[in-house]
Amino acid sequence: MKKRLLCIVISVFGLLNTNAQEIKYGAKAGVGFSSVKVKNQVFNITNNDTGFYVGGFAEIRVFDAFTFKPELLYIAVEDLNQISLPLMVKYEVSEEFDVLAGPSFGLLLDVNDGFNSFNYGIEIGAAYNIFISRFIDGLFVEARYNFGLANLIEDAPDGITRKLSGLFVGLGYRFK
């Protein structure tokens, strides 16, 4: 699983050396609200925790309003710390407002026996660009939700799942 995530990271960031028209880099941080859902045929249990995330991203302009936005984040929430690699597509609705969507891959750290460390899901979200002055125009606030799709129970019997999802709200800065 760790090799798979490493191959994805190398491939994505290798794309940054292509002849793209415009590439910007940035950093972001914020609060994360995780939700672990365990389901079987009889019951559903949900456990919620709050933590933080921090990381960096690149924005590669693909078309006029579309940008490819790979990110590398460290997410710390209780015992569910992970390295996350969201591969987002950003659509610029207006100069101030963006919508985001894409797959996300993660590597859970310090996983107990019987659980998978490779996590994946789909993320959707929105960002609002804050223009304070012509000198500070790379600031944005962002909110997104990750729909966890991976069953984190190793060799789980039919009908038993443990999935990790989360809401992330934070602040970022895009360097010029």
Q: Which of 101, 115, 103 is nearest to 36 (CA)?
A: 115
pLDDT tens digits, one per residue of 6-34: 555 565 555 545 545 689 999 999 999 99
Give 19-85 as a DSSP string.
Answer: --S-EEEEEEEEEEEEEEEEE-SS-EEEEEEEEEEEEEEEEEE-SSSEEEEEEEEEEE-TT--EEEE
What's the whole-model pTM score? 0.83
Q: Which helix (H) or strand (E) holds 93?
A: none
Supply the pLDDT for residue 19.
47
Q: Which two tokens stand for residue 121?
A: 């899901």
Q: Evaluate if residue 146 carries a pLDDT over 60.
A: yes
Supply the pLDDT for residue 1.
54
C-alpha gyration radius of the chain: 17
Q: Which of 131, 144, 47 is nearest to 94 (CA)?
A: 131
Q: Which of 81, 176, 70 is nearest to 123 (CA)?
A: 70
Q: What b/e sequence results for 103-118 when a residue is b if at least 16 CB atoms lie within 10 Å of its CB, and e otherwise?
A: bbbbbbeebeeeebbb
pLDDT tens digits, one per residue of 109-126: 988 888 899 999 999 999
Q: Binning pLDDT at 50, 70 and 90, where does residue 63 land?
A: confident
Q: Are 139 and 126 within 8 A, CB to CB?
A: no
Supply the pLDDT for residue 14.
56
Domains of the chain: 2-175 (2.40.160)
DSSP reduced 3-state for 158: coil
Supply the pLDDT for residue 28.
98
Q: Which two tokens stand for residue 45?
A: 């249990």
Supply the pLDDT for residue 137.
80
| Mean of all residue pLDDT scores within the chain | 88
Supply the pLDDT for residue 12.
53
